[in-house]
């Protein structure tokens, strides 16, 4: 594929805020801001990719002018080669940087129905699943660590009273 014939600004696109309307298709996607290509990626399912994209939080803080454009690819086996060629051609700045405070992946097994309901609730509230899970884990840790601290303090008081 010749990357010079691809014009990301002429491709179908949606504002970042309406990412829930992206199609379910294999695609190369472009994150656009005005006349700049910020990021290029590939996915087997464009909609699913943007439900929980690792750059979502970073992009939503930037400006309301961010758009996601896409080039549908009927042969998903070509996605990697096409993405590489387009990144080399356009040299998008975000493909060259790490996300500040980048997070680690946590893989968990949960019931299919709970995952579906959780994902639906997150999308409906314009929240990333990872953000909500992080909040839940943080709340749980504060509760558990607080109990441990209180138990230690109670234990120390009891020791002091016994002495």
pLDDT at 102 over 70: no
If 0-12 CB within 10 Å is exposed, 13-18 middle and 19+ buried, where does residue 70 land? Answer: buried
The model's pTM is 0.60
Class of domain 3-96: alpha beta
Pick the closest to residue 19 from 78, 75, 57 (CA basis): 57
Torsion of CA 133, 134, 140, 146, to 10 degrees: 180
Residue 157 confidence class, pLDDT cut points 50, 70, 90? low
- The domain ranges of the chain are 3-96, 112-162
The DSSP symbol for 35 reads: T
| Residue 23, pLDDT score | 95
Bigger pLDDT: 152 vs 16: 16
Two structure tokens written together for 149: 């601290």
Confidence of residue 52 (pLDDT cuts 50, 70, 90): confident
Mean pLDDT value of segment 76-97: 91
């Amino acid at each position: 594929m010749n990357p010079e014939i691809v014009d990301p600004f002429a491709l179908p696109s949606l504002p970042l805020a309406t990412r829930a309307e992206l199609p379910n298709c294999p695609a190369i996607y472009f994150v656009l801001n005005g006349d700049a290509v910020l990021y290029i990626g590939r996915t087997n399912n464009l909609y699913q990719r943007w439900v929980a994209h690792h750059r979502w939080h970073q992009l939503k803080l930037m400006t309301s002018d961010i758009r996601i454009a896409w080039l549908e690819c009927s042969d998903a086996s070509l996605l990697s080669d096409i993405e590489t060629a387009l990144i080399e051609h356009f040299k998008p700045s975000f493909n060259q940087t790490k996300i500040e405070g980048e997070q680690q992946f946590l893989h968990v097994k949960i019931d299919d129905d709970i995952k579906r309901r959780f994902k639906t609730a997150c999308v409906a509230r314009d929240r990333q699943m990872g953000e909500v899970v992080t909040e839940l884990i943080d709340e749980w840790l504060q509760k558990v660590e607080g109990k441990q601290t209180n138990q230690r303090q109670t234990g120390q008081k009891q020791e002091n009273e016994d002495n």
